[in-house]
Structure 1
Amino acid sequence: MGDVYALGTNFKTAPVELREKLACGKDEMRSILPHLRVSSGVEELCILSTCNRVELYAWATHPESVSLVKEIFLKMKDLRWIDKHFFIYRGEKAVFHVFKVASSLDSMVVGEPQIVAQFKESFHLAKELGTTGKILNRLFEKALRASKRVRVETGISRNAVSVSYAAVELAKKIFGELKGAKVLLIGAGEMGELAANYLKRLGCQVFITNRTYERALRLAKDLGGNALRFEELGEFLSGMDIVIVSTGSRDYVLTAKMVKESMKRRNYEPMFIIDISVPRNVEPSTGKIDEVFLYDIDDLREVVESNLRDRLREAKRGE
């Protein structure tokens, strides 16, 4: 007889500095998932990688193969000795965890809708690659049905404060009046786009840049903003009050040197930078520059938690 396993890290067990090293893009997932399943000996395997979690779900008849999944995955990521940040659930506890994740009951923002789409995408990719079978397929399908039921039968998603909304609330605390503020969105990530949308509604001027200029043009049209060329980032950065970074890059898009030069040109007028990318796209030392307010995905937890009381009560009903 086999068992379902859930293992990995999330915002509760590991800081963003560690999660970003484990993060997997879709292309990487395509190459490592089949290899990981075959090399470890687990019968079925799926990986969910988001800004707040990197988790592996498996069906295995031998517990040793699950330990091997962890060992091989960490070796692929060139990581060792992170046991205190890595959880492993088995059987009923693993199944319960999968249901909570899919229903957004385990999210940093309880009730946020993005996790459902991310969960579906990971499931469909694993299914397409042939790394899941009848056990995990059935589990994930049931988890998604439960997710829908939780949303319909509870008030969990009513006025849910998304990470993007939390970023905007933080900007309000720092700047006060946001009308007329210049906002730069770097990248085409969904959360960044949502944040830019909120800011646009508050009367901000929105500018978008992306490595692919055509993508920036499309987004600018959707948001009623202006597209800027990515290669000119260093030139126009100094004119921005709020910068939202949401890309899929594994390197720093904004370096401390670039921001420092921009701050000199803007006479050290405050600049708010929110990096909701995982891996992080803004060099962490940027936050030490005078009048630069840098926040990453983990820094938003405090803002989010102050808005969670009502939804946590609804979450208990969902469970």
Structure 2
Amino acid sequence: MKLVLLGVNHNTAPIDVRERLAIPAGRLADATRTLAHQPGIREGLILSTCNRVELLTVQESDAAQNSDLLRFLDEYFAVPASTIQPHLYEFREREAVRHLFRVASSLDSMVVGEPQILGQVKESYTVAREVGAVSGTLEGLLQRAFTVAKKVRSETQIGSSSVSIASVAVDLARKIFGSLAGKQVLLVGAGKMSELAARHLIQQGAASILVANRTPERARKIVAQFSGPGLSSEVIPFEELYAQAHRADIVITSTGAPQQLFGRAHGQQFIQKRRGKPMFFIDIAVPRDVDPKMNEVEGCFVYDIDDLQQVAAANLADRGREAAAAEDIVSSEVDRYQQRIQSLGAVPAIRALQQSAEEMRQAELARVATKLAGLTPEQQAAVDALTRSITAKLLHPQLVALREKPE
């Protein structure tokens, strides 16, 4: 069996590639099940976030070719392999383990230290278990990844402040306006990202938050959380989105819609209703909610998730020391995991060697049993203990060599 990881992320692929591979939460189970049923694949997990799509698989060693995974991407997403391949990275065995540990620990995130990625990995794991795509190898590996991520959080300050894509988006809005005091913000989409954005917006002085979501209950839940003195919050019925969106100075979108919600024509309508006042769109959805051509409309300014990288880079510089400490933890944990896997692989040989040695010891004791018959029970116990000790010492170098034998 071979561990193979194939994927694209914000470092290797632009958003127009990533959004073609993005998997909505409602389709993740089907996609994972389809992956696990591919020829030669014994176990599989798919991690799909706004910044990455990765396939983690356990494959039969003679079938461990990335062409199989490329074919899956081609067939499932209807995206030609030639389009994806220039942006792909592939990791195997030890390097796949290292990559997974780094991802779960938020060392490979656009915003290093953001806490959301671990929850996203856990969600993918839960889905994969539910469809029967995870068993022995990936079960143990993922559990270890969760432990490593927790260790990084507890032993470094990499997550000392609340940082996420949502907070970076709000930081960008603050830099654009100078101040968010008195600004009206529209959140389109009521998921976790929108909740985080709302919290940061309130901290920065936003006076009014509008929430639009296809499921009204979710929108009302967010509004209820953030209603209070000095803060106005309101649910916008989704069917009235286009009629009321112009009220917002800042629109933050994070839906899972398969097609874009806002196009160039919408921008022209909004600016006309706002009498030329500028309107800023921060699109943190993948696939994107806002057509980038809206930037061509005078007064409309659109920033997508890739535009947040500049802000994230400054964050990374501030956290360099903690990130280095976290990398050391990951490297140490990769070594420990590999040693454990190698030891597990040697277990049958170790047991056979120990059993053979014990049989020889018992045979020798039986051969001289008549000579030992005159010994007291205490003396016989001492002889038994002595022969066990000698056998263990003779076996020790061989057992160590088996455990440390490279794969």
TM-score norm. by structure 1 comes to 0.96
- Tell me how many residue pairs correspond in the alignment: 318
Greater alpha carbon shift after TM alignment, 72-81 vs 52-61: 72-81
Which structure features the higher share of helix residues?
Answer: 2
In structure 1, the residue corresponding to 2:277 is in which secondary structure? Answer: coil
For 1:254, what is the secondary structure of its paired residue?
A: coil
Spell out the pairing of 1:108-123 with structure 2 (5 A cutoff): 108-123=110-125
State how far apart, in whole Å, the 2-side matches of 1:152 and 1:96 are: 19
1:246-290 C-alpha deviation (Å, 9 max, x unpaired): 111111112221121010111121111101111111112112111
Answering whether residue 216 of structure 2 is matched by residue 213 of structure 1, we say: yes
* Deviation string, structure 1 residues 275-309 (Cα, Å, up to 9, x no partner): 11111111121121112111011100001111221
Q: Which has the larger radius of gyration?
A: 2
* Residues 305-314 or 163-172, more deviating: 305-314
Is the partner of 1:9 in helix, strand or coil?
strand
Residue 42 of structure 1 is matched in structure 2 by 41
Contact preservation (8 Å) 2:2, 2:64:
no
SS in 2 for 1:262: helix
Q: Which of 180, 183, 186 pairs up with 1:184? A: 186
Q: What is the distance in 1 between the residues matched to 2:163 and 2:26?
A: 30
State the partner residue of 2:253. Answer: 245
Contact 1:23–1:49 (CA under 8 A) maintained in structure 2: yes
- 1:217-268 C-alpha deviation (Å, 9 max, x unpaired): 1211112221111111122111110001011111111222112101011112
After superposition, the Cα gap between the structure-2 partners of 1:63 and 1:236, relative to the gap in structure 1 and judged at 3 Å, is farther
Look up the match of 2:268. 260
Q: Distance in 1 between matches of 2:62 and 2:11?
A: 24
Q: 306-315 or 11-20: which moved more?
A: 306-315
Give per-residue Cα distances to partners, 1:184-231, cap 9 Å, x unaligned. 001112122211221122221111111122221121111222111111
Aligned to 2:175: 173
The whole-number CA distance in structure 1 between the counterparts of 2:189 and 2:166 is: 14
The residue number in structure 2 matching 1:279 is 287
User: Are 1:318 and 2:326 an aligned pair?
Assistant: yes
Post-superposition offset of 1:66: 4.1
Matches within 5 A, 1:93-242: 93-204=95-206, 205-224=208-227, 225-242=233-250
Give the whole-Å Cα distance in 1 for the aligned partners of 2:155 and 2:256. Answer: 35
Report the alpha carbon displacement of residue 160 of structure 1 after superposing the two structures with TM.
4.7
User: SS state of the match for residue 319, structure 2?
Assistant: helix
Provide TM-score, normalisation by structure 2: 0.76
Instruction: Give 1:277-316 correspondences, 5 Å limit.
Output: 277-316=285-324
CA contact (8 A) 1:192 1:276 kept: no
Contact 2:3 2:93 in 1 (8 A): yes
**Contact 2:115–2:163 (Cα < 8 Å) also in 1:** no
Structure ranking higher on relative contact order (CA contacts 8 Å, 6+ apart)? 1
Equivalent pairs: percent with the same residue? Answer: 41
Q: Displacement of 1:40 after TM fit?
A: 2.8
Distance 2:223 2:14 in 1: 33
Give the letter aligned to residue 303 of structure 2: Y
Residue identity opposite 2:147 in structure 1: R
| SS of equivalent to 1:277 | coil
Give the structure 2 partner of residue 23 of structure 1: 22
SS of the residue aligned with 1:112? coil
